[in-house]
Copies of this chain bind each other. A is one copy, B any other.
Amino acid sequence: MADIIATLQKERDGLSRSEQRIADIVFEDKQFAVNASIIELAARADVSPPTVTRFCRRLGCHSFSEFKVRVAQSAFIGTRYLEPEVKVTSSQEVIDTVMGRAQSTLNVLHENVDAEVVEKIAEQVLKAKMIYAFGSGGNSSLFAHEVQNRLFRLGLRVTASEDHSMQLMTASTLGEDDMVIGLSISGRNREMARALEIASGYGAATATISKSESLVAQASEMNLAVDLPEGTDVLRPSSARYAFMAAIDMIAFLVAIKRKDSAIEPLRRIKRQLVTFRDEDDTQVLGD
């Protein structure tokens, strides 16, 4: 179930002039688009109804009414996020925008994520005797730690590093039993690409979560692609973080399922440790 608004944005430039007019109206007034009849929408875009039908088909919908439903479904509270420059002032608008962007980002990832790659990476994680999560810069380094945070709970050996030099040095010490997971939102992290190549050269498995075709992605065996349009508004927090979170989530969840038996014991121990230490309420779930 793809996010039609995201699709619309992606395809917009490939549409004909009349169709672009329709697209623009849908963008700028979804409330109208969703409630109007095909005739009303056609009139407002100054095109004929058949053009609207063709427009819907081109976007992968079977009929106009399917199109309307898809537009309505695409959590359009915050779809304004897709437009580069949105004027946002009130706190409620900020909330709606943040939420809309997060939702849409996740939709885009959901639509594009490659289940096979997730599977392959998870398999490799299970095989590795030690895992090294690399990421640099405030965002990606955070995710390197997230990888560590998620995998150690499953009883896996894992460490995270955000230090380029350490990454390079570490890479040189690896072998066939090791695995490197590299995280880079931009995909332009040269040092990381280098570290991945070195690790690969010594026989370690390499996986990345990054932009497809990017420097970093090309340097590793497996890349879980996270390609998202990032606006140019410097004030806009990168919504890609939600997608990265989800990408890590998928891998960790799949790994957890695959090694269910051996994963439960470490989790149980962590939990007991937390509960005993903090308070006696057993309902707490590995909370913080």
* Chain A interface residues toward B at CB < 8 A: 34-35, 37, 65-66, 68-70, 72-73, 75-77, 88-92, 94-99, 102-103, 106-107, 109-110, 113, 115-116, 118-119, 122, 135-142, 145-146, 148-150, 152-153, 184-190, 230-232, 234-238, 241-242, 245-246, 249-250, 252-254, 256-257, 260, 263-264, 267-268, 271, 274, 278-279, 281, 283-288
Contact assessment for A234 and B288 in the assembled complex, using a CB-CB cutoff below 8 Å: no
Task: Point out the residues of chain B lying under 8 angstroms from A279, CB to CB.
Answer: 188, 190
This protein's copies in its complex: 2
Task: Point out the residues of chain B lying under 8 angstroms from A103, CB to CB.
Answer: 103, 106
Contact assessment for B139 and A142 in the assembled complex, using a CB-CB cutoff below 8 Å: no
Contact assessment for B264 and A234 in the assembled complex, using a CB-CB cutoff below 8 Å: yes
Task: Point out the residues of chain B lying under 8 angstroms from A150, CB to CB.
Answer: 138, 237
Contact assessment for B149 and A138 in the assembled complex, using a CB-CB cutoff below 8 Å: yes
Contact assessment for A257 and B35 in the assembled complex, using a CB-CB cutoff below 8 Å: no
Contact assessment for A116 and B91 in the assembled complex, using a CB-CB cutoff below 8 Å: yes
Contact assessment for B285 and A238 in the assembled complex, using a CB-CB cutoff below 8 Å: yes
Partner of A232, one of B34, B135, B231, B285: B285
Contact assessment for A263 and B235 in the assembled complex, using a CB-CB cutoff below 8 Å: yes
Contact assessment for A257 and B281 in the assembled complex, using a CB-CB cutoff below 8 Å: no
Contact assessment for A95 and B68 in the assembled complex, using a CB-CB cutoff below 8 Å: no
- Among A257, A263, A267, chain B packs the most CB atoms within 10 A around the CB of A257
- For the complex, give the distance between the alpha carbons of A208 and B145 in Å: 22
- For the complex, give the distance between the alpha carbons of A285 and B228 in Å: 12
Contact assessment for A106 and B102 in the assembled complex, using a CB-CB cutoff below 8 Å: yes
Contact assessment for B118 and A66 in the assembled complex, using a CB-CB cutoff below 8 Å: no
- Least CB distance from A199 to B in Å reads 19
Contact assessment for A69 and B66 in the assembled complex, using a CB-CB cutoff below 8 Å: no
10 contacts between A and B (CB under 8 A): A94-B250, A102-B106, A138-B145, A139-B149, A139-B288, A145-B145, A185-B287, A187-B287, A234-B267, A241-B245
